[in-house]
Amino acid sequence: MTATPTSPPASPKRRWLLKTGLAIGAIGAALGGSIFWKRGVSDGHLTEHGREVFRGVARGVLANYLPDAPAAREALLSRHLKEMERFVQTLPHAVQIEFAALLGLMANAPTRMLVCGLRKSWSEASVEDIQAALETMRINKLPTNMMSYHALRDITGIVFFSTRDNWSLVGYPGPLDI
């Protein structure tokens, strides 16, 4: 009986492993860096990117309450963003940092596509695209996506519906005198 020579099992080459590790690290650093670069809150104020995300979310969530006339709609959205900024300024600094990360995640194209499937920027997307993206987040199996959806939608709604100037748009006469 002759012994057949055995060869060691195939294994990844060390160079391939190093290159793959470096590539994954570079992609992760690029995504993380761009999220930081496009963060949504800085020094207690909404950044340009944070404003874009909240304007888009407001267009999707509040579509039935926004005026049809473009000038009136833009004026209302601008007022809403001022109220959003006031709200953000009332948050503790630690929450502002978390909020900045969420808005950065939603402003960054690759992570926005991963989280909600929105390919266009918030300002370029149609109301239907935004509503579909929010629905994707709402029914996602990942708890972080669902929590992100609720944070964006709930805060947008709370700020809008608690602003006295918007009450007439929704038919709310205001608090009753007791």
Q: Would residue 63 count as lying in a domain?
A: yes
**How many helices, marked H, and strands, marked E, lie in the chain?**
8, 2
pLDDT of residue 42: 87
Q: Would residue 62 count as lying in a domain?
A: yes
54 contacts: CB under 8 Å, gap ≥ 6: 46, 80, 81, 84, 103, 152, 156
Nearest 5°: phi and psi at 67?
Answer: -65, 155
**Residue 34: what residue type?**
S
Question: How does pLDDT run across 111-142, given as a tens digit for each residue?
Answer: 899 899 999 999 999 999 999 999 999 999 98
If phi > 0 it is left, if psi is from -120 to 50 it is alpha, else beta; for residue 126 that is beta
Q: Would residue 94 count as lying in a domain?
A: yes
Rounded Cα distance, 154 and 144, in Å: 15
Q: Would residue 27 count as lying in a domain?
A: no
- Residue corresponding to tokens 């602003």: 163
Distance, first Cα to last Cα, the chain: 103
pLDDT of residue 65: 94
Q: Would residue 35 count as lying in a domain?
A: no
Q: Would residue 36 count as lying in a domain?
A: no
**Residue 54: what residue type?**
F
pLDDT one digit per residue (tens) for the chain, 178 residues? 666 666 665 556 666 666 776 666 666 655 555 555 568 888 889 999 999 999 999 999 999 999 999 999 999 999 999 999 999 999 999 999 888 989 998 998 888 998 999 999 999 999 999 999 999 999 999 898 999 999 999 999 999 999 999 999 888 888 888 8
| Domain assignment of residue 47, given as a range | 42-165
Q: Would residue 118 count as lying in a domain?
A: yes
Q: Which of 152, 170, 151 is nearest to 161 (CA)?
A: 170
Q: Are 16 and 86 in contact (CB under 8 A)?
A: no
Rounded Cα distance, 167 and 178, in Å: 19
Q: Would residue 150 count as lying in a domain?
A: yes
Q: Are 149 and 137 in contact (CB under 8 A)?
A: yes
pLDDT of residue 18: 67
pLDDT of residue 2: 65
**Count of domains in the chain?**
1
Q: Which two tokens stand for residue 147?
A: 């929590």
**Angle CA 31–34–35, to nearest 5:** 85
